Structure 1
């Protein structure tokens, strides 16, 4: 008896389950870190920029999980597509792990930790921007047509800002970047989250 061939939606459900595990680990890491700060506010000196990136990344993870539903319409699945999506989810986990390491005892607080590890954080953040671009193209013209020219402006601007963040220790710049980034992520979700159907 010949086995029934898997359809694209069947494969999508399998891939989405694996991506969901990685995204779940990322959100768990961030939420556990926030709870630890609330439970032990005097244990480690907090840094508003760090908290801003935690909130931004939480939104990015929810955004990622929602928009990956578009992949159900992908007509052909390959191992390369599967591997790409898993790597994308892994990058988001790495960002979560960088925001809340196992310990910050080697640093004076989250500000010292964040500024000293910013090159890693923003290099991976820039990679997620590139992965997001590839992911958008993968979903086809109907998907990226939803975003008009704003999307093609957003990608290079984020890459430039990540480059500056890697090079700069300016507290003002980092406050401005995370503030604008968080507000823009909220705006992007409000304006585009209802456009799934």
Structure 2
């Protein structure tokens, strides 16, 4: 006797659970890092650019979990789609680990650490932008039609900004980028993802 095939909704529930485990590790990493800064402010000096990216990543992770509800619309699941989503989530975890490593004892503070690892951080961040584009396409035309031309403009602009940020140590640019990224992220969520209906 063969078992009946799982429905797309049942597969989605399984995929969502696996993604949730990696997402939970990512959020935990960020929250633990923030708590350490509060508990031991003299051990590693906080930095506005670094904290800005931490807040941006927290928002991105919460938003990631929210927008993945649209995966319930995927009519046919394959291992490739599942693997892609797991790798996407792993990249997001890498960003969190790059923001809060196990120790920064070799650095004078989070500013020094972040700037010395900015090529890694912005390289992985650029990869997540590409993964987001593919993720959007997986969800189908009805999903990406929600975003209009803004989405297709936003992707290359974000990639260019990541490239500049990876190479530039200019403090004003770094501060401007994280501020604009955080504000735009909030704006994007409010305008496009306020409801799942």
Q: Same fold (TM over 0.5)?
A: yes
- Aligned match of 1:118: 118
- TM-score (structure 2 length as normaliser): 0.98
Deviation string 1:150-189 (CA, Å, 9 cap, x unpaired) is 1001100100000001110101100000000000001111
Q: For 1:173, what is the secondary structure of its paired residue? A: helix
Show structure 1 runs of 4+ deviating over 4 A.
none
Shift of 1:195: 4.0
Q: How far, CA to CA, are the matches of 2:121 and 2:155 in structure 1? A: 17
Deviation string 1:124-165 (CA, Å, 9 cap, x unpaired) is 000000000000000001000101011001100100000001
- Aligned match of 2:32: 32
- Aligned match of 2:163: 163
Deviation string 1:52-105 (CA, Å, 9 cap, x unpaired) is 000000000011111111001100000100000000000000000000000000
Which ranges in structure 2 are unaligned for 5 or more consecutive residues? none
Matches within 5 A, 1:96-107: 96-107=96-107
- Aligned match of 1:89: 89
Q: How far, CA to CA, are the matches of 1:110 and 1:2 in structure 2? A: 56
Shift of 1:34: 0.4
Q: How far, CA to CA, are the matches of 1:123 and 1:26 in structure 2? A: 18
- Aligned match of 1:70: 70
Q: Does 1:130 align with 2:130?
A: yes
Which ranges in structure 1 are unaligned for 5 or more consecutive residues? none
Q: For 1:41, what is the secondary structure of its paired residue? A: coil
Q: For 2:51, what is the secondary structure of its paired residue? A: helix
For the aligned residue pairs, the C-alpha RMSD in angstroms reads 0.7
